[in-house]
Amino acid sequence: MDGSWADKLEKRFGFLAAPGLPAFVVGMNAVVGLLREFKPGFVDVLTLDPAALARGQVWRAASFLFVPPPIGPLWLLLWVSMEYAILQALEAAWGDFKLTVFIAFGLIATVLGAVVVGAEFGNSVLVLGAFLAFARLLPERQVLVMFVLPVKLRWLAALSGLWAALEFATSGAPGKIQLATGLAPYLLFFGEGHWRDLRFAWRRWRNGLP
């Protein structure tokens, strides 16, 4: 089972689970997004800036998770709604502890990557990783693209994965590291499952099976 190693950790460290993470993370995104409408420079103290982090502004190691894309109020509403649906689905499927581990590992990996390359990283790849996890757990669920076209999550995940692969292939070192660290929690939870799927597909192809 994908991420089964986290179930073993939960037996010993389950007390570290942070309940209500979807509501907290999405609520903070909404607050920061709205405050930016009135004072755009407000988010400058929240972003993952390695130089500022080195000066002792340690809150940046987590606060960048709460900075939504620079979009208007309407798109902000759509963004936080999507983010909440994803995180809530993961919480329902995994429970508080595994979702806490997923988010915490993504934060740690992204911060380390930003410090190594000395570049400012955002949270967009972390959100992408959470979406891919959502699609992996519920591949047959349909969503309405542009509120009209019903598409299964498996196809949206395939397109997202293709985009990530192309972006990795064409970007420089900072971009590659941002993608690798942002998707690290997804690979940690689901990499073994994907490897099993690839081996199974290879055996079927080699044996001439459809």
Q: 162-184, pLDDT tens digit by residue? A: 999 999 999 999 999 999 999 99
The fold adopted by the segment(s) 4-206 is Rhomboid-like fold (1.20.1540)
What span, in angstroms and rounded, lies between the C-alpha atoms of 78 and 16? 31
How confident is the model over 68-95, as a mean pLDDT?
89
Dihedrals phi, psi of 152, to nearest 5 degrees: -75, 150
Find the angle CA(61)-CA(64)-CA(67) to the nearest 5 degrees. Answer: 165
Whether this model's pTM surpasses 0.95: no
Q: Give the H/E segment covering residue 1.
A: none
141: left (phi over 0), alpha (psi -120 to 50) or beta: beta
How confident is the model over 20-32, as a mean pLDDT?
94
What span, in angstroms and rounded, lies between the C-alpha atoms of 60 and 143? 33
Residue 9 bridge partners (DSSP): none
Has residue 209 got a pLDDT over 70?
A: no
- Average pLDDT of the chain is 88
